[in-house]
Structure 1
């Protein structure tokens, strides 16, 4: 082949490459015309690749592994219904971060740099050190907005909004308003708030301290003092301090912003110490916990905060959720838990925004769709973006473990959030 013919061939190949990179069918970002690197990561003509980050394991034995099943269930139904404008969801599953900050960042890097996902949905862990990396790499990420990283960044979304806002945002009032209903009002009533000694725990204390005070409670105790790395063997010092926190008396309600192993230890010790008031936490809505007598006894009477419709609901949306979980588990009737719903609704919000983005799914189109997104009547109430990156969607319920079963103690409802200071 002559030099001139080789040159023409090379030029033709280069032109073909540029044309392919600029073709809308390859998911290019219209904001960067002519840029070969603008092909949208994880998007092909027929699929959208999505991964997750979930604490499947932890040093305490606590696991959120069913978050992965919940996401899988929602994606399976989406694919059965035709995917996103004809593109199937290629859900590659979730990376296990073991609740370890280093592993969380490593998982984020792997999903982006090796697996080349378009989005991370779900992200469910008590640590989110991978947040800055995912934001920098412009990866739409969806999870339970219980960490500050879900409040403010452009590409990170809480499935029920921002639950730990920065000043200028708002606070969800489901918990304090729900406890007030159980107690017959907040006036003259006191509350103790307990959390782990971690960034998340300290932020939770700051948030809920404001929320309960705004609802009319006297906040008698608010400390993030329980070790975050190991469950205490001896709770006596905590119990003594809490039970004398209201001017030498026990508070009317004690709320724990901790995970199940800590809650079991604390609530058992409080009951042995003679406490008869209201106990509440935001994590122990899990029928699997009822399998062990000791666990069931420790959590008996506890009111659990939910930020979604209870499984006891008879709504069509809840019936669909149950059917999807059963299908994803191969037809098994698994005990439902909040981790399943966390994964399911993280995937659901991603799918809703991606559908709105249209047939040409690019990062720019996705983000533009999110800027004017809203829908109603979901399992977490009414949703709206970018409102949800600053504020909670404001809805929730309380259920109580009673005689070996969960009962709705405060029905699912929405409250006007309060400003966070």
Structure 2
């Protein structure tokens, strides 16, 4: 249906409702037990949209998050949908990694598109969180920003990855690196992040996490401009390479996106640094297509909060097949596909438990009691996921043009966040 026609139909439905007529048959929405319509839910469909940073000022893109979500929804529909309803996935809005656009995208999806849920939401800016929470819109994404920690309608597919005081911190990264190094005792780390909210919270989190694992944290700053890629990294590398009592640290940790990591790691390598380089971003076979990028990231250990693509589990095989079908051909896998896929997977799992009478209230009740085990992100418990991560992950190392598992997919006990 064309948008002008849909708008007229919605207006007509509102008029009928105002005159005490039943609007369910004309608005395309289902009617709950209390006789009210449910936004985005009809007798045979559930409408879902997404918000993804497909374009950014630095050139970094998460567009494949949309493909991952689409792949999971397509399989759900092929299997009969959710309790008799098909998923009407309308795709993701591009927020350009801009706070104003993120809020605008959230408003559009709810007020114009009338979606029941937003899944996936993948951006380092989430200014639309308050709006979505107030509108009681179930929202799913990668919980790497603080807005995924606390709100009752916003869910991280791996739990709350950047907790607030009173919550916990997953130890996957520091413990994984301790495995790589043969132990953390006597080892030092330097942590660098962007100068934005996500970077500030990341520094606060990982500074505690690495120290708790036994590392000496000699440097931890969120000072790299988030809106402009530095052309000269010397100001940062000079501090980093003297951070261990005048010496270079054993590990340089970057909590930034690919273009920044390439610049930082290239500069650090040119200085003669022989220690460990690591980040949570650059698990993307597509990056290997360019020799300059491959060289810059060679040797880097990348944190994953899900099973590596190299895994031979049935779930990973299913993921690969779903992506291939959605893409129409074999495509290089990347972390963004997994973000979209697992966001959609958790939404589908909760919606299925909510039953045929799907409302926000029934969905929330189902979410409060939902847990499962053995997924590609480990054991999921939605209730605890509001305040802590599920605590499972792995490290892979880019080596000689290919990724190798350097620390196997494992679940670790979290620590308290102070």
Question: Per-residue displacement from partner, 1:353-398 (whole Å, max 9, x unpaired)?
Answer: 0000001111110000001000111110110111111110000000
State how far apart, in whole Å, the 2-side matches of 1:338 and 1:119 are: 22
Q: Does the 8 A contact of 1:300 with 1:403 survive in 2?
A: yes
1:28, CA displacement in angstroms?
3.6
Residues 14 and 83 of structure 1, relative CA distance in 2, 3 Å threshold = closer
1:255, CA displacement in angstroms?
0.5
1:86, CA displacement in angstroms?
0.9
Q: Does the 8 A contact of 2:29 with 2:40 survive in 1?
A: no
**Rg larger for:** 1
The answer on 1:398 being equivalent to 2:395 is: yes
SS at match of 1:399: strand
1:344-355 map, 5 Å: 344-355=341-352
Q: Does the 8 A contact of 2:169 with 2:205 survive in 1?
A: yes
State how far apart, in whole Å, the 1-side matches of 2:343 and 2:101 are: 21
Match of 2:167 in 1: 169
Counterpart pick for 2:293 among 292, 295, 303: 295
Question: Per-residue displacement from partner, 1:32-60 (whole Å, max 9, x unpaired)?
Answer: x35xxx31100000000000000110111
Match of 1:219 in 2: 217
Match of 1:76 in 2: 74
Counterpart pick for 2:406 among 405, 409, 414: 409
State how far apart, in whole Å, the 2-side matches of 1:15 and 1:128 are: 35
State how far apart, in whole Å, the 2-side matches of 1:26 and 1:183 are: 56
State how far apart, in whole Å, the 2-side matches of 1:115 and 1:353 are: 22
State how far apart, in whole Å, the 1-side matches of 2:344 and 2:24 are: 29
1:27, CA displacement in angstroms?
3.6
Question: Per-residue displacement from partner, 1:84-133 (whole Å, max 9, x unpaired)?
Answer: 01100000000000001110000000000000000000000110000000
Match of 1:363 in 2: 360
Match of 2:12 in 1: none
1:20, CA displacement in angstroms?
6.1
Match of 1:326 in 2: 324
Q: Does the 8 A contact of 1:260 with 1:284 survive in 2?
A: yes
Counterpart pick for 1:195 among 193, 196, 205: 193
1:15, CA displacement in angstroms?
12
Q: Does the 8 A contact of 2:161 with 2:170 survive in 1?
A: yes
State how far apart, in whole Å, the 2-side matches of 1:304 and 1:195 are: 15
SS at match of 1:280: strand
1:29, CA displacement in angstroms?
4.4
State how far apart, in whole Å, the 1-side matches of 2:22 and 2:225 are: 57
Match of 1:3 in 2: none
Counterpart pick for 1:147 among 120, 145, 148: 145
Match of 1:133 in 2: 131
Residues 218 and 325 of structure 1, relative CA distance in 2, 3 Å threshold = same
State how far apart, in whole Å, the 2-side matches of 1:314 and 1:17 are: 57
Q: Does the 8 A contact of 1:55 with 1:124 survive in 2?
A: yes
State how far apart, in whole Å, the 1-side matches of 2:146 and 2:270 are: 35
Aligned residues: 401
Gaps of 5+ in 2: 1-15
1:17, CA displacement in angstroms?
5.1
State how far apart, in whole Å, the 2-side matches of 1:72 and 1:362 are: 23
Match of 1:97 in 2: 95
Q: Does the 8 A contact of 1:178 with 1:398 survive in 2?
A: yes
Report the aligned-residue RMSD. Answer: 1.6
Gaps of 5+ in 1: 1-12
Match of 2:4 in 1: none
Match of 1:377 in 2: 374
Q: Does the 8 A contact of 1:27 with 1:362 survive in 2?
A: no
Counterpart pick for 1:234 among 232, 235, 240: 232
State how far apart, in whole Å, the 2-side matches of 1:15 and 1:259 are: 50
Q: Does the 8 A contact of 1:150 with 1:158 survive in 2?
A: yes
The answer on 1:313 being equivalent to 2:311 is: yes
State how far apart, in whole Å, the 1-side matches of 2:23 and 2:285 are: 52
Question: Per-residue displacement from partner, 1:243-269 (whole Å, max 9, x unpaired)?
Answer: 001100001101100000000000000
Length-normalised TM-score, structure 2: 0.94
SS at match of 1:122: strand
SS at match of 1:245: coil
Residues 14 and 361 of structure 1, relative CA distance in 2, 3 Å threshold = closer
